[in-house]
Amino acid sequence: MSGRRVPLGEALARRLAGTSALRHLDRFGWNPLRHPDLRSGRMGRMSEIDGMGTERATCVLAPNPSMMTLDGTNTWIIGEPGADEVAVVDPGPDDRVHLARILEKVGDRRVGVVLLTHRHPDHAAGAARFAGMAGAGVGVRALDPRYRLGDEGLAEGDVITTGGLELRVLEIPGHTDDSVAFWLPADRAVFTGDTVLGYGTTVLEGRLGDYLSTLERLRELAGEQDVATLLPGHGPRIDDPAGALDGYLAHRRERLAQVEEAVRAGARTAREVVEIVYADVDRKLWPAAEWSVQSQLDYLDERG
Ligand SMILES: [Zn+2]
């Protein structure tokens, strides 16, 4: 795509290199610069994400890059080769230029259904408008009823068929409680939304216990079904699903161990844990840390 070769990752890396901001982000697990490909300067280019995919799936990158959305939101067009109907996953923000561009990529095929991985506006805000642009009667299917258009929702075990395509729905709470993944057996690919990102780690709005179970479930699927690729809601595709999921699990368990250690040292509240674990971090970031630590304490409590 001409005219939009923005080396976001590199620009970001240059801006953050050696700053305390990077250290703080790293501490929260938000460091998008940890990805080895990004560090080596091979990645972080929008032009490499836009248009990526598998035999059946193609990414249309939304122009909404930020610290939280990385290079922008990945919208996915999925269709059987030669079929006249496709599914669109996560139309993205309510950005008319982006929505029109998705339709342009759909071309003369029909949009059979619009699917949402979860309710966050960078994935869902443009869905209703996009469905309207795509034609009369095009529905939006989501786990959360508030984000649906039409009668059909999404639930664990649903099989979505459109234009000969088959997608299987997995409920994967954690990032949010309405997060779902779509398993595309024909390409051995899983659309992970924000549950697993192309690089960095995700921020949890849901419960940590749910998120850990979700990661374990995806890890199992990766092994059992020999999953070849994860197609995330942000960032590049992941071609080593098992390795990436093992890394996510290790990262979460490591943070949990730090909190457990602080509790053993006498910390009783989230604030007290933060005072120990985040002692050398700017106090302005403590409230955010407290929120994340609280979910870890809740999890340790439930686990007993
Ligand atoms: Zn999200």
List, in order of start, the domains of the chain with CATH numbers. 8-303 (3.60.15.10)
Beta bridge partners of 45: 7
Q: Please give the distance, rounded to the nearest whole angstrom, from the Cα atom of residue 123 to the centre of ligand 1.
A: 7
**pLDDT value for 99:** 98
How many C-beta atoms surround the C-beta of residue 51 within 10 A? 13
What separation in Å is there between the alpha carbon of 234 and the centre of ligand 1?
9
> Percentage of residues in the chain with pLDDT exceeding 70?
85
pLDDT score of 7: 40
Buried-state track 200-222, b at ≥16 Cβ within 10 A, e below 16: bbbebbbbbbbbbebbeebbebb
d(CA 297, CA 304): 10
Q: Ligand 1 mean position to 108 CA, how many Å? A: 30
Q: How far is the CA of 121 from the centre of ligand 1 (A)?
A: 8
Query: Which tokens hold the place of 133?
Result: 């642009």
What pLDDT does 184 receive? 98
Spacing, Cα 143 to ligand 1 middle (Å): 14
Instruction: Give distance in angstroms: CA of 125 to centre of ligand 1.
Output: 12
Question: What pTM does this model have?
Answer: 0.83
d(CA 155, CA 171): 7
Q: Are 199 and 66 in contact (CB under 8 A)?
A: no
Q: Which of 159, 145, 136 is CA-nearest to residue 116? A: 145
CA of 118 to the centre of ligand 1 (A): 7
User: What distance in angstroms lies between residue 287's CA and the mean position of ligand 1's atoms?
Assistant: 20
How many angstroms is it from 98 CA to the middle of ligand 1? 18
What is the distance in A from the centroid of ligand 1 to the CA of 82?
A: 32
Q: List, in sequence order, every residue forming a beta bridge with 86; answer none if it has no partner.
A: 111
- Spacing, Cα 200 to ligand 1 middle (Å): 14
Q: Residues of the chain whose pLDDT is less than 70?
A: 1-46
- Rounded Cα distance between 232 and 213, Å, is 18
**241 residue type, one letter:** P
| Amino acid identity at 12 | L
CA dihedral 218, 219, 221, 224 (to 10 degrees): 180
> CA 143, CA 153: separation in Å to the nearest integer?
6
What separation in Å is there between the alpha carbon of 161 and the centre of ligand 1? 25
Ligand 1 centroid to Cα of residue 157, in Å, is 22
> Helix 208-224 to helix 286-303 angle, to the nearest 10 degrees?
70
Structure tokens at 66: 């930020």
Per-residue pLDDT tens over the stretch 180-214: 999 999 999 999 999 999 987 787 888 899 999 99
How close is the Cα of 195 to the center of ligand 1, in Å?
8
Q: 117 CA to middle of ligand 1, Å?
A: 9
Element (H, E) at 85: strand 85-89
Indicate the SS3 state at residue 250: helix
Residue 228's closest CA among 88, 36, 57, 41?
57
The residues pairing with 76 across neighbouring beta strands, listed in sequence order, are 59, 89
Ligand 1: distance of its center to the CA of 199 in Å? 14
Task: Output DSSP code: residue 279.
Answer: T
Determine the distance separating the centroid of ligand 1 and the alpha carbon of 67, expressed in angstroms: 13
28 contacts 289 by C-beta, under 8 angstroms: yes
Residue pair 78/56 in contact (Cβ under 8 Å)? The answer is yes
Backbone angles phi, psi at 270, to 5 degrees: -55, -40
Query: What phi and psi, each to the nearest 5 degrees, are found at residue 302?
Result: -60, -40
Q: What confidence score (pLDDT) does residue 54 get?
A: 97
pLDDT of res. 280: 84
CB-based contact 5:51 (threshold 8 Å): no
Task: Provide CB contacts within 8 A for 199, sequence distance 6+.
Answer: 32, 34, 35, 37, 38, 43, 70, 235, 236
Q: Please, are residues 175 and 68 in contact by the beta-carbon 8 Å criterion?
A: no
Cα 194 to ligand 1 centroid, rounded to whole Å: 5
Residue 267 alpha carbon to ligand 1 centre in Å: 31
